[in-house]
Amino acid sequence: MLMHSVNPATGQVVQEYASIALYDALARLDDAHVAWQDWRHAPYDTRAAVLRRLAALMRKQKEALARLATLEMGKPIAQAEAEVEKCALTCEWYAENGERLLADEPIATDATRSFVRCEPIGVLLAVMPWNFPYWQAIRAAAPAILAGNAVALKHASNVPGVALAIERLWHEAGLPPALFCSLLLPADAVGALIEHDAVAAVTVTGSEAAGRAVAAAAGAALKKVVLELGGSDAFVVLANADVEHVAAQAVTARVQNNGQSCIAAKRFIVSESIAETFEAAFTKRMRALQVGDPAVRETEVGPLARPDLVRDLHAQVQASIAMGAKLACGGEPLARGACFYAPTVLTHVAPGMPVFDEETFGPVAAVIRARDQAHAITLANQSRFGLGASVWSRDAGAAEAVAARLEAGAVFVNGLVTSDARLPFGGIKASGHGRELAQDGIREFVNRKTVWIR
């Protein structure tokens, strides 16, 4: 079976890759388990050195790696380069801090000595998406490998070139080959991978549907799973916010990665007293965005990754307009290619509309007016998702009070929601469970063993 890497900006096939047979994939999992038996006892400095070399390699090859992501899934080139750099920084941070994060924790009991230690658990199956093709895979693999585990990557089928590039980079960095492998397989093979005895745990980043399927398979096999799923992040603008500044930030928050980000702001909940001014400023900036070839550095919004994503997004927009939303700009596919969608602002959005209730994966912003602060909090929490949220106000104290009442895995005050190696990342409700990054992330896939000594 062939996997096709298709440039969404042109529709042209970039390259064809042969997928592997399932029995070959299972054999690689067995090889990873065998290699892990030695790696789990490797000195910390040995493991950290691999991450440092990986960071150096990614920086050295940044232009080529970024260009590959742009070709395979349409990320604007400057953002693709920034993604590669973020991977390098995260590898360095873990190499510098991992020993502290994994250190034994003494606990006073009636024993002579008692403590909790972190031990690696084996082979981690990472089921990863296409939208941040390097970052999602590296942020899962780097702490797991540093903790002494092995990693098998089942990447999205539309980024096979990136999947193989990540595998090559780990091997060039000096990681024993069997400890990281990319499995070019269709999505329907994931269940068999999870069931295989060599797999100790699973981490998945993707849609709500993908998360439910993986979680069900992992539960049936009694294996640990971390889910980082979709989001419909609230961007709450309080009455005393600096409207022009916040409108500019709102555009960046919505169209990062062509709007295809789980933590992109999607529901813009604005105090009624400033809503008209905000809508005008926001729409003006969205309308002015440069849409085009993602390989051109001046492009601000490129194509969506696949034509079906454009069709799904347009259906959400059309259904919401039929239910009473007002189109301020955009609202249609662009003639320049099958994967381009116009930056879109919908106002007068209300609960029950698709753009309020569902995750919108593309450059579509839903503006909702809030009567007062309490209503804004209610609207923000009126979602089955709970990944991230942001609150904007000249009064940081008032914004922090609102943040404390928002149901989300992360809340940023006067800043864009982002992932940072120093802070735990993950959601609640339908956005998943478990955490990546920071100490929480590196400890998700270890055995927290209690040791009691007299």
pLDDT at residue 369, rounded to an integer: 98
Mean pLDDT of the 282-301 span:
98
Kindly list the structural domains of the chain, giving each domain's residue range(s) and its CATH number in brackets, ordered by start.
2-229+431-453 (3.40.605.10), 233-421 (3.40.309.10)
* Catalytic option among 91, 262, 329, 339: 262
Q: Is the dihedral of CA 262, 264, 265, 266 positive or negative?
A: negative
Average pLDDT, the chain: 98
Residues 6+ apart with CB under 8 A from 442: 94, 98, 101, 102, 143, 144, 146, 147
Please tell me the distance from the alpha carbon of residue 113 to that of residue 451, in angstroms, as a whole number.
8
> Would you state the pLDDT for residue 138?
98
Q: Is 208 considered catalytic here? A: no
Q: What is the pLDDT of residues 141-174, one digit of tens each?
A: 999 999 999 999 999 999 999 999 999 999 999 9
Specify the pLDDT at position 376.
98
Q: What is the mean pLDDT of residues 127-139?
A: 98
- So what's the pLDDT on residue 1? 80
Given a contact cutoff of 8 angstroms between Cβ atoms, the answer to whether 102 and 441 are in contact is no
Predicted local distance difference test score (pLDDT) of residue 195: 98
Active site includes 329? no
Mean pLDDT of 208-234: 97
What confidence score (pLDDT) does residue 445 get?
98
Q: Of 83, 228, 436, 444, which residue is the catalytic one?
A: 228
CA distance 227 to 436: 9
Q: Are residues 129 and 156 in contact, defined by beta-carbon separation less than 8 angstroms?
A: yes
Q: What is the mean pLDDT of residues 395-412?
A: 98
